[in-house]
Amino acid sequence: MNKTIPTTTSEYQLQPTRLQEQLDDGTTRCHLCLWRCKLKHGQRGFCQAHVNRHGTLYNLSYGILSAIDVGRIEDKPVRHYRPGTQVMSVGSYGCNFRCRGCHNLEISWGVDALDELARGESKAAYVTPQALIDVALRQGVEGIAFTYSEPAVWLEYVIDVSKLARENNLYTVYVSNSFVTDEGLAEMAPWVDVLCSDIKSLDDAFYKDICPVSNVEQVLASIAEAQRLGMHVETRTNIIPGKNDDPQMLRAMADWIRQNLGADSPWHITRFFPAYQLSDIPMTPSESLWQAHDMAMQAGLKHVYVYDDKGCDCATENRPVADFLNGKVDDIHQVKKCAASCCGDEGILLKKYEAESR
């Protein structure tokens, strides 16, 4: 497999996708997540964050931040790794799922924001890995969490930040849907300390609904692989009435966790709040959450946590990104055009390539 290692720059610039393979038919395949998108020149992957330009894939969102927040690691939720410490959460744009109840649409799918980046019209904040570490140190946190959407879609940045974090005695947390390749996990496992992964359901139809190429086995295998590679793993299930609240299935989930991650492995059960295409489904009743809790304890799990007040790791109430960064707001939100010169004088990436690819 062809692999290119990104180099960080002080200015916004597209970075080569970390796991890519040039195929005999002239297309290039991305191996960051299990979509394994096969792209022609000018095309973008399902996540919209990677683009093929003349046979090489590039990450559009490297260093681009959509949200920052500081809070307890327990809110990720992670409870058995450095409890009581503060963590700085960061996210970019783009996700490899399209969950119908997602609370983070504007930033998680981030289609408009990624279109703007592709057209060289984005005013999103760009923060180098070193600058992000500096922000974390100024905030006095002990770790950095990659969250708000699937971090695999900007793994280039996640890994560069995580390496620097370790040098600065900061831990890292990766909040994931675990639709991630083994190759992606192998790249991140030496550098990322904690995986907090969703297990959304044990029903294939549920996964097919939100991500047509996904199935439960792939997600579960990825979670087990992360633990095998030495990451500290905790799992989370958001219980949606009528969708994934079947008692037998919840019991099977608890059994899977005990058998594959161990009886000590923490399981976090969160409440669903209506959103987007699932706005007509009511909030999860407390009884359902506690029923799942009791069943999991009967199944032999020792650490099961219920969150009555919390669904996902949302960014909707975060302070503006610029609040955390040094510099004037206008400077932070200047238009971002790729600093590389390969696109010609106009400096607007992809516009012409998108035209060529049609």
Binding site for ligand SF4 (CB under 6 A): 30, 32-33, 35-37, 45-47, 49-50, 95-99, 102, 104, 108, 149-150, 152-153, 177, 312
Question: Is the Cβ of residue 161 or residue 180 nearer to ligand SF4 in the bound state?
Answer: 180
Tokens coding 109: 């799918």
Closest among 115, 117, 149, 150 to 34, alpha carbons compared: 150
**Who contacts 158 (Cβ-Cβ below 8 Å, separation ≥6)?**
146, 151, 172, 174, 188, 192
Which residues on neighbouring strands pair with residue 57, listed in sequence order? 52
Smallest gap from Cβ 63 to ligand SF4, in A, equals 16
CB of 59 to ligand SF4, least distance (A): 9
Token pair 């390496």: residue: 163
Q: How far apart are CA 80 and CA 89, in angstroms?
A: 18
Least distance (Å) between residue 154 CB and ligand SF4: 9
Min CB(201)–ligand SF4 separation in Å: 12
Residue 181 or residue 325: which is nearer to ligand SF4 going by CB? 181
The nearer residue to ligand SF4, 31 or 293, going by C-beta atoms, is: 31
**Which tokens sit at 250?**
């919840």
Rounded-to-integer distance, Cα 333 and Cα 14, Å: 18
Pick the closer one to ligand SF4 by CB: 125 or 152: 152
DSSP-based three-state secondary structure for 124: coil
Which lies closer to ligand SF4 via its Cβ, residue 97 or residue 332?
97
Q: Which is nearer to ligand SF4, 15 or 104 (CB)?
A: 104
Minimum CB separation of residue 343 from ligand SF4 in Å reads 20
Q: Which residues pair with 204 in a beta bridge?
A: none
Least Cβ distance, residue 48 to ligand SF4 (angstroms)? 8
For ligand SF4, give the closer residue by CB, 49 or 295. 49
Nearer to ligand SF4, 128 or 149 (CB): 149
DSSP H or E segment with residue 195: strand 194-198
CB of 281 to ligand SF4, least distance (A): 14
Q: What CA–CA distance (Å, rounded) separates 23 from 265? A: 40
Cα distance between the two ends of the chain: 28
Least distance CB 328 / ligand SF4 (angstroms): 31
Whose CB is nearest to ligand SF4?
45
Residue 21 or 134: which CB sits closer to ligand SF4?
21
**Shortest Å distance, C-beta 94 to ligand SF4:** 7
Residues 6+ apart with CB under 8 A from 317: none
Q: In what order do the strands lie in the sheet with 67-72?
A: 67-72, 86-91, 143-146, 171-176, 194-198, 232-239, 267-271, 304-307
**Side-chain half-sphere exposure of 31, counting CA atoms within 13 A:** 16
Nearest to 6 by CA among 185, 129, 151: 129
